[in-house]
Structure formats: structure tokens, C-alpha cells
Amino acid sequence: MAGENAPWVEGITIGNMLRQTARRHGSRPALKFRQFDYVRTYAEFDCEVDQVARALLAMGIVKGEHVAVWATNWPQWVLLQFATARIGAVMVTVNPAYRSHELAYVIKQSDAVALFTIDKFKASDYFAMLQEAIPELASAAPGRLNSPEYPCLRDVVAFTDTPATGVRSWHDFLALAKTIPAGDLATRESELCAQDAINIQYTSGTTGFPKGATLTHRNILLNAYYVGDCQQLTEQDGICISVPFYHCFGCVLGTLCAAVYGAAMIIPYEYFKPEESLAAIEQFGATAVYGVPTMFIAMLDHPTRATRQLNSLRTGIMAGSPCPLEVMQRVVQELGAREVTIAYGLTEASPVITQTRIDDPLDVRVKTVGRPLPGFEVKLVDPATGETLGDNQQGELCAFGHGVMLGYYNMPEQTARTIDSNGWLHSGDLATRLPNGCYRITGRIKDMVIRGGENIYPREIEEFLYTHPAIQDVSVVGVPDPKYIEELAAWIRLKPGQTASEADIRTFCQGNLAHYKVPKYIRFVSEFPQTVTGKIQKFKIRETMIQELGLTTTAKREMA
């Protein structure tokens, strides 16, 4: 990718990128945290990152060591993201929804030497979960943890100044910076390169233990650059980041992308609350907004939305699941984000592989996930034979290019199953390519339902059901069946004020879908089980249906 047309972030580290942005746009706003009343310019932010980086050096963290962060969207999270990168430490992002046993797994599997955390979130007591996962913490002095279960872990630091026993306060952590001269930090920075591992992002682990995708400076910087380019971002923009930082959506497409372009990071709240997102857009004049479709629906349907001044919005990203046409139309007309884009990717690709552009017709932004980012090659292959397929043929989407991860941390066999010997990343997603070069995601290979020998892809049925005027959201899964091996079950959430019966839905399907594609089981629900990022957890729907219907699992197949 060398040459005069190469992105300006090519070949540099994240720390270097932030320094250049601070020089170019030092007086521009970098962060605006509405909940914490925390506002910083890029010059101020860069200085604070230096302070946190020196404190990390004082803790004895060397290049390549792993630092875990287990928290919701706090200012300290962003400071640590850039500070760990500045000293060459690998940031391990931990899902804030994890409980003690999940936390224990990630700390041990990632070989983390330090853990940063908040004290509580909603009803969750993080310090109590820490004590449960790491009993030795209760008798340890701050910075002197010694646990046989976690031989690498030395230090636990709180984002607050009222830590638990054995946990260092944020104030005491920052005070460590005074012991490290600026020259020591400069020396460390000079030892880093763009190809170094800098981030471990754990996948959702819905079909097994989470796997840590290891990403480099170059992986995520180039992804951030091209994702911002698709939105035509500049230093005049402000991105409303309601998605969680621990996920690539938040910390690559959000914070990192903003820094690459000198745009403002606008953080409404530590987790998604539609009223807070709307208020932040209005208060700070956000020009871009990020979310999954369920987030956009929640903002559109919130009772205060109609009274808000949201005319600053121009663009943004919707990702994570299909966007119904009506939702996209409302985002354009009622939120004013007329240039919102659709992105597709996966953590292992840093994350975006394809994206629509701001000038793509609405039809393209609803029915496709756009074209590959520059520097990415995409092909479709027959899952059974590996044969490369042409336009309008369904196959597994595979990607090759700058975003492909180094591999899963300490999981060589799983890495080999995901990245083939020629360097192609196998997504596990089924897709077709249209003659215009845009891709449509048609389902997951593991999602496929086999009913009486017929292969059924739930995505197709979901997209059809979205056309029903009363349906707001839908998820279709396969459940065991003694006669057909599997049958279809649909969970449906209706639009406010709308009604429909099971018979209505079946009548709507009949004549439009083959008989074997009509769901046998239909349930109307008020909400879906979701990940923190808003993705529907189909495996939980399937488990609930199996239990509710008293079905046996003799025909059970692995499902996503």
C-alpha cells in the first residue's frame, strides 16, 4: 500500500498518530463525555495520555505485556487505549457484562499483567466479583498481587479513588507518572513499529470459550482511516459513540477513527440509553451517530426525539444486523442522518471488511453491506468444496488484506481453522455478490437449518418478515423436531400500537415463502436476549424455545 496515495497513517503507530493529530488540531475538541462532564481538546488529551503512559511505565509494564480493561464507557478507558498503545503494551478489552468466572478466564487466557476496572455498573459489584475471581486480592498490597491461578497478574487499578483492598486507586496510579521522565517515554516510543500487536479483542464466545483476536497498530489504524473516509469525516465532525468501547465498533470505528480525522468523540453515557444519546447529539452538535438497528429504533421511538434539535446529524454507521428499509428511511428523514452508512465485518478483520458510501442510493444501503474497503480483497467460496464462486452465487465470505488479525492469542488450532494457509480469513458468514460489486450477507453457515433435508437460511425469512407492516424486529432460529430433525421458530417484536396474531403471520408467509420456510413456532416478545453491542443472541432464543416446548435435543446441531 506504499506510494503517494497511501493513507497518512500507513506505517505509523497509534501513539504517533495521536501526536500528529494533536499538532494539527490541538485546539479542536477530542472528547466530550456528557455523563462525566469531561471535555478535552486534542492537545489536552495528548498530554493526559502521556501522563497515563508514564504511569504505566512506572508500574513496570514492558513492551508486549498485556493490560486488561474491564469497564463501561468511561474517560479512563479512552486514555488507557491510547496510553497502552504509546508504550507498546497490548490492551485486552474485557466485556463489561462478564461475571467473575468469565473474567477469570480472560485474565488467565490473555496473560494479563494488570487489570483496570470500574467499581460498579447497574447491579453489578465489580470489586465483589474481583474478590470472587481472585481471592488473594483481599490480602495483597496494591501492586503486589501474587496469585498461583494468575501467575502473570501483578496489579489491579480502579477507575475511582475509593478502591477495594488490594486495588490501586486512579489517583495513586496517576501519581506514579511523576517518577518517569518524559525521555523514558520517548525512548519506549522509538522502539515500537506499526506491525506490533497492540490489542486483543475477545469474540463473543457463543459457541465455546471466547477467543482473543490479536490486532496490530496497522490493522486497526488502516481500518479506522478507511471507515472514516467512507463517511467523509473531517476535523469538523463529531461522532456520537453510544456503542461500547470494549468492542471494535466503539474503539476502532469510534475513538480511533475520530482521532485519525481530528473529529470529536462524543460519549453520551457509559452504556446505551436512547434519551442520553439524543441529548448528546443535540447538546454537542454531533454530525455522525453509531449503533446497531435496535439502537436506532430506540432513539427514533423515544418520546423526546420529536422535540430535539438533531439537524447537525449527517452521517454515521449502522452495523451488526440487517436494517429494515423503513428504519433506514426514518433514520434519514427523522434523525436527519441522510448519509448514514452500513458496515459489515468481524473482530478478526479489525473489524470492517465492506461498507457503503455516503452517496450510495438508499436501496443499496438497505439491501447490501457495500463494497470492500480499499486494501481488502473479498471472495466467496463454496463451504463444501472451497471453489471460488461468481456473482449471484451464495458462498462463504472470505477476506484478505490489511485488517486480517495476527491470530487468536495462544490458540494456534483455532487460528488455522479461521485463516487458511494462503492468508484468507474465513468469516463463517454466507453472502452473495451483486454485479455492481456490493455484497449481501445471507446468513451464518452455523445458522443454517436443515428441515427434512431442505437447507433453510433464517436470514432470508427474517428479511421477508421485516416487510410486514406490524413487525419491528424479528429473529428466526432452528429448534429440534422428531419428524423433520429441525423446525423453524420466529420471535417477533411488534411496532408500538400494532397487533398481529400467529395466524396473521402464517397467512402473510403463505404464498410468499415455500411451505417448509413458514415458521412452525411463533412467539411475540417485548425484547430479545442481546449482547452488550445489541446483537441478538440466537442461541439463547433456541435454548428458551427448547425448554419452553419440552423439546429433546437429540437432533441438536451447533448454532451461532
Length of the chain: 560
CB of 117 closer than 8 Å to CB of 21: no
**How confident is the model over 445-458, as a mean pLDDT?**
81
Q: Which residues of 128-142 are buried (b: 16+ CB within 10 A; e: fewer)?
A: ebbbebbeebeebeb
Locate 400 and state its grid cell.
484478505
Q: Determine which helix (DSSP H) or strand (DSSP E) holds 198, and give its type and residue range.
A: strand 197-202
451 DSSP assignment: E
Summarised one tens digit per residue, pLDDT across range 194-206 is 999 999 999 864 4
Locate 399 and state its grid cell.
477476506
CB of 414 closer than 8 Å to CB of 368: no
271 DSSP assignment: S
* 25-30 own/partner pairs: CB under 8 Å, 24+ apart: 25/235, 25/262, 28/235, 28/262, 28/264, 29/238, 29/264, 30/258, 30/259, 30/264, 30/265
* pLDDT for the residue 532: 66
Give, in degrees to the nearest 5, the angle at Cα 241 between 169 and 354. Answer: 125
Q: Among 243, 287, 295, which Cα is nearest to 261's?
A: 287
Give, in degrees to the nearest 5, the angle at Cα 323 between 317 and 326. Answer: 115
Most confident of 57-61, 428-432, 477-481, 526-530: 57-61
Q: Domains in the chain, ordered, with CATH? A: 44-202 (3.40.50.12780), 449-549 (3.30.300.30)
- Given a cut of 90, is residue 171 above it in pLDDT? yes
Summarised one tens digit per residue, pLDDT across range 237-248 is 999 999 999 999
Q: In what order do the strands lie in the sheet with 471-481?
A: 471-481, 485-494, 521-524
CB of 505 closer than 8 Å to CB of 468: yes
pTM summary value: 0.87
From residue 376, give the alpha-carbon distance in Å to each of 82, 349, 398: 26, 10, 10
